[in-house]
A = this chain, B = another copy of it.
Amino acid sequence: MSQPPRQLHLNVNILHSGFIPSAWRLPHADPLAFIDAAHYVKVARIAEAAKFDAVFLADNAAIIEQIDFRPITALEPTMLLATVAAATTHIGVIGTASTSYNEPYNIARRFATLDHVSGGRAGWNIVTTADVASARNFGLDKVPDHAARYARADEFTQVVKSLWNSWEDEALVADKVSGRFIDDSRVHPIAHRGSHFQVHGPLNLPRTPQGQPVLVQAGGSGDGQELAARHAEAVFSAAHTVEESLAYSRAINTRAAQLGRGPHAVKILPGLATIIGATEAEALRRRDELIDNIPWSYSLKRLAGILGVPVDSLDPDRPLPDKLALPGGGNGNHTFFHATLSLVKGRPHTVRDVIRALCGGGGHRVLVGTPEQIADDIERWFKAGAADGFNLMPDALPDGLQHFVDGVVPLLQQRGLFRRDYEGKTLRSHFGLVHPASTGGQARAA
């Protein structure tokens, strides 16, 4: 059998009304979509009809932005994904849950539940939480420092994996005749006693359809990359150039290989926002309409937050300030900081240019153009090895996704880059990942 050609992976980030903060104001948009389960189901069904790998949900455990102008991340992702899974059959469901303000037993159980109720389509996006508003919702007055958050995240993830592995595949007997339900010799405590957690186990839930949910991460910092190299099967990165994304992919995968994982163990899926028109002029008009509906004060404040500078240090008609340093003394979001700097590197720009290029979003690359232009760009990144696929962030939902599905997906299929149908029913199958073998209940780090 010949090796099948390498295939692109596509997820859609269901960022409530869409990537552009003013998306909710478009004429056909339902402004209350952000709290309407039916909206998320509708988007997921469009993505499933186009054979996407997965839907993705971000999360926050606090209000971390100005809320006067735009929708926020509100509904809890794992519960919303249970709803989405009930209304779909194939598409993966990847949800974010923080290691900073949860207990590993609860997270292991929730994602194992999601894997069971979805028939093997669950993924966990492992994050740490860096904002002070969240800290203050969980008994803290300030954010734990970056290294401490990542040390906790690493141990947290190990505990979760051990719990998922605490039942052998054969533990569930369920034999009516003998009356034997579970072979308890095949269900094992994990007896974890670490620096952050003591968790005895086992999980009160049998091994899941995928063996374990898919592990996803978004590691921009050094600590984040180490966490990704140790645990992640896919990374949602932020990058603006092929070179930068290629370097990132090599760094993560080299480190993963050093840790005894395979040669390309971690799929690199950069964020990609899209604004699509039948002609380039139409796409640009849509972009301008969306941007013009974003209050200038909102965009300035958001950029100031990413860069860690006072709002009044940003003059729309002048370049970004010199000597920018990681916000919060390195305790903030490294990913978006670096991505934003890379966007302006070596190019003439004003603060106004940067805000237009980011389209009011924070950090991720924005493509504006025709389906052909967008397919060309995706093909270029994919063939250069800078991406194994993309975490799509359509400008507005559901219509921006529908534009991508109607315009770009057929081109990617014609070029042999993207599937025309699902080959399996699990997220592991879509991503081409192995179903991890049971290790007899041993608690293992990787």
Contacts and interface: CB of A to CB of B under 8 A. Distances in A.
Copies of this subunit: 2
A180 interface: yes
A78 interface: yes
Interface residues of A, number: 71
A291 to B, nearest CB: 13
A118 to B, nearest CB: 8
User: What 3 pairs across the A-B complex have the smallest Cβ distances?
Assistant: A136-B200, A31-B174, A37-B117
Interface in A65-122: 66-76, 78-80, 82-83, 85-87, 101-103, 105-106, 109-110, 113-114, 116-117
Given A116-B37, A138-B103, A74 B179 contact: no
A137 B80 CA distance: 26
Interface of A: 22, 24-25, 29, 31-32, 35, 37, 41, 60-63, 66-76, 78-80, 82-83, 85-87, 101-103, 105-106, 109-110, 113-114, 116-117, 133, 136-140, 172, 174-176, 179-184, 187, 197-202, 204-206, 293, 295
A75 B133 CA distance: 31
Contact of A76 (B102, B110, B136, B138): B110
A388 B172 CA distance: 40
A102 B76 CA distance: 15
A180 B69 contact: yes
A91 to B, nearest CB: 15
Contacts of A74: 113, 116, 204-206
B179 A69 contact: yes
